[in-house]
Amino acid sequence: GAVVSQHPSRVICKSGTSVKIECRSLDFQATTMFWYRQFPKQSLMLMATSNEGSKATYEQGVEKDKFLINHASLTLSTLTVTSAHPEDSSFYICSARLLAGLYEQYFGPGTRLTVT
């Protein structure tokens, strides 16, 4: 199956700093990528849809100025958590959608963010 990578796999940062997470589709081009957040023992919650070459679409309740998304190429989307606070600590997962067949989404391995 298609491969999606994320970097870093885990990051610890101080409150007030910004953190960038990269999501790459390694063997296919993805015009659309998705960013999810997952809290312990809960399912994935969609944060935003990242569209190559255009602005991201954010879900209700997700602050676009706090979670900056850039999808500059067909294989890379980035999520920047600005002015991070402890409540932003979570597991962030991206997925990339294959534009063929059943439009399956392939998920990255996730990034564990801890804000101290």
Partner 1 sequence: KNQVEQSPQSLIILEGKNCTLQCNYTVSPFSNLRWYKQDTGRGPVSLTIMTFSENTKSNGRYTATLDADTKQSSLHITASQLSDSASYICVVNGNAGNMLTFGGGTRLMVKP
Instruction: Rule CB under 8 A: say whether 112 interacts with partner 1.
Output: yes
Instruction: Rule CB under 8 A: say whether 91 interacts with partner 1.
Output: yes
Give me the residue label for tokens 């676009």.
64
Binding segment (CB under 8 A) for partner 1, from list 12-20, 43-51, 60-68, 73-81: 43-51
| Cβ within 8 Å of residue 43, ≥6 positions away | none
Instruction: Rule CB under 8 A: say whether 69 interacts with partner 1.
Output: no
Instruction: Rule CB under 8 A: say whether 16 interacts with partner 1.
Output: no
* E-only strand ranges, the chain: 4-7, 10-13, 19-25, 32-38, 45-51, 57-58, 67-73, 76-81, 90-97, 105-107, 111-115
Taking alpha carbons only, the member of 90, 72, 26, 31 closest to residue 81 is 90
Which of residues 11, 46, 62, 76 is near partner 1 by CB under 8 A?
46
How many residues at the interface with partner 1, by CB under 8 A?
A: 25
Where along the sequence are the contacts to partner 1 (CB under 8 A)? 1, 4, 6, 32, 41-44, 46, 49, 91, 93, 95, 97-98, 102-110, 112
